[in-house]
Amino acid sequence: MALLFIDGFDHYDPQAVDSFGDPWLARGKAAYLSPQATRINGRRPSSYALRLPEGSGGGYVKNLDATKTSLIVGAAIRVVPYQNTYTEPLLLGVRDANSQVAHLVKIGEDGRLKLYRWQYGYDQLISVSVASAPARGWHYIELQVTQGTSNGILSVRINGILAIQMTAQNTIQGGGQLLTAFVGAVPGQSCPLTIDVDDFYIADTSGTINNTFLGDVRVDALQAQADGSLNQWTASPVATAAWEAVSDEDEATAINAPNVGLRQSFDVEPLPVMATPAIYGVQLTMLARKTDAGLGKVKGLVVSGAQSAVSTDIILQEQLAWQSTLFERNPNGNVQWTEAAFNAAEFGVESA
């Protein structure tokens, strides 16, 4: 596994309210999301991005399922117009599991990227790029942190170009392994300046694909558009098609499974038309909950040709929350996804 997580911010409105009238925020997609976060127009037509307003609400925080010794985070980021006499916008960063050491990227007073190490509550400037991020507009920013006491690596890219590279570094600094990626603010800190974020990914450097910078990528959200070949779940209310129940953006319609081992698959919207699409992975994302006390689980499911695969168990909560699992490879041949294979495949769930 190398590609770990993606978020295109297209499938949730952080200000949509729950039954108490409070915002859902990321509903679990992010471990923490600023209560002031809003949904805005994304980088592409008919898509959304996330706005993280300046202030004490902080930013977007994602914790991984397990610690890593090397992480790459990337996102399209746009900074609001600001005065450069006081505060630098914080773009993104990575923090260790002890919450002790973070590495983060800011834009400096002259528009060049600055790489900082955050420790004991203080920022230490460790490098400044030659390349700059001109004011206004989106830039695709990527940061790699590879841990080491004397052989650590720190790399920053802007719009696909290497802007900062430092080798033979002590990147551990007495901290733990890497666990947390963040955008807009160090976890627990204020968001210095309002930024917009879209097309976010987290990868590590393991495996044989997606083990280095992905570059300027896009995250497309594709809904179910028809029932697939496996139809063992029950749609409610009666007479609702399963695919409609999961794609109508209405929580009054849903699918459920009374027993374990039941599979439901869907035909999914095709990829948008692109000249030469490369698919780095498919993240199955579902709004799901358990319906009784005790352990409630589900698995992500992919059916491709004669092959199918399921994810590890996804543990559900009492309330609806976004759950996701990533299929980096097409299980039919265990190869990287192609457009044709993706469009022919079915995706869904297995009760566990």
C-alpha span between 111 and 133 (Å, rounded): 5
Residues touching Ca ion: how many (CB under 5 A)?
A: 10
For residue 325, give the nearest of 344, 308, 349, 307 by alpha carbon. Answer: 349
Q: How far is the CB of 245 from Ca ion (least distance, A)?
A: 5
Residues 204-233, mask of contacts with Ca ion (x by CB under 5 A)? ------------------------------
Residue 95 CB neighbours (<10 A)? 26
Burial class (CB within 10 angstroms; exposed 0-12, middle 13-18, buried 19+) of 69: middle
- Which of these segments, 146-154, 190-198, 273-281, 300-308, binds Ca ion (CB under 5 A)? 190-198
Residue 246, classed as helix, strand or coil, is helix
List Cβ neighbours of 40 (8 Å cut-off, separation of 6 or more): 48, 49, 50, 51, 196
* Selection from 34, 273, 41, 35 nearest residue 138 by Cα: 41
Among the listed ranges 10-18, 138-146, 149-157, 274-282, the one in contact with Ca ion (CB under 5 A) is 10-18
By beta-carbon proximity to Ca ion, the closer residue of 18 and 250 is 250
Measure the CA–CA gap between 145 and 176, rounded to whole angstroms. 13
Triad 190, 199, 16: Cα angle to 5°:
65
Residue 253 binds to Ca ion (criterion: CB under 5 A): yes
Compare residues 90 and 242 and give the one whose CB is closer to Ca ion. 242
Position 8 contacts Ca ion (CB under 5 A): yes
Rounded distance, CA 328 to CA 284, Å? 11
Compute the least distance from the CB of residue 132 to Ca ion, in Å: 25
Could you tell me which stretch among 65-73, 90-98, 101-109, 248-256 binds Ca ion (CB under 5 A)? 248-256
Residue 250 in the binding site for Ca ion (CB under 5 A)? yes
| Segment interacting with Ca ion, rule: CB under 5 A, options 59-67, 72-80, 240-248, 308-316 | 240-248
CA gap 203, 208 in Å, rounded: 12
By the rule CB under 5 A, 198 interacts with Ca ion: yes
CA 264 from centre of chain: 25
**Structure-token pair, residue 117:** 């190490």
Nearer to Ca ion, 10 or 267 (CB): 10
Start-to-end CA span in the chain (Å)? 22
Footprint (CB under 5 A) of Ca ion, residues 64-123: none
Residue 304 interacts with Ca ion (CB under 5 A): yes or no: no
Contact segment (CB under 5 A) with Ca ion among 7-15, 53-61, 224-232, 282-290 equals 7-15
Please identify, using beta-carbon distances, which residue of 100 and 236 lies nearer to Ca ion: 236
Closer of 76 and 133 to Ca ion (Cβ): 76
Site for Ca ion in 36-75 (CB under 5 A): 42, 47
- With contacts defined by CB under 5 A, name the span among 198-206, 233-241, 268-276, 298-306 that binds Ca ion: 198-206
d(CA 248, CA 46): 17
Distance in Å, CB of 247 to Ca ion, minimum: 7
Report the nearest approach of Ca ion to the CB of residue 18 (Å). 16
Measure Cα distances from 231 to 236, 253, 307 in Å: 13, 16, 17
For binding to Ca ion (CB under 5 A), which residues are involved? 8-10, 42, 47, 198, 245, 248, 250, 253
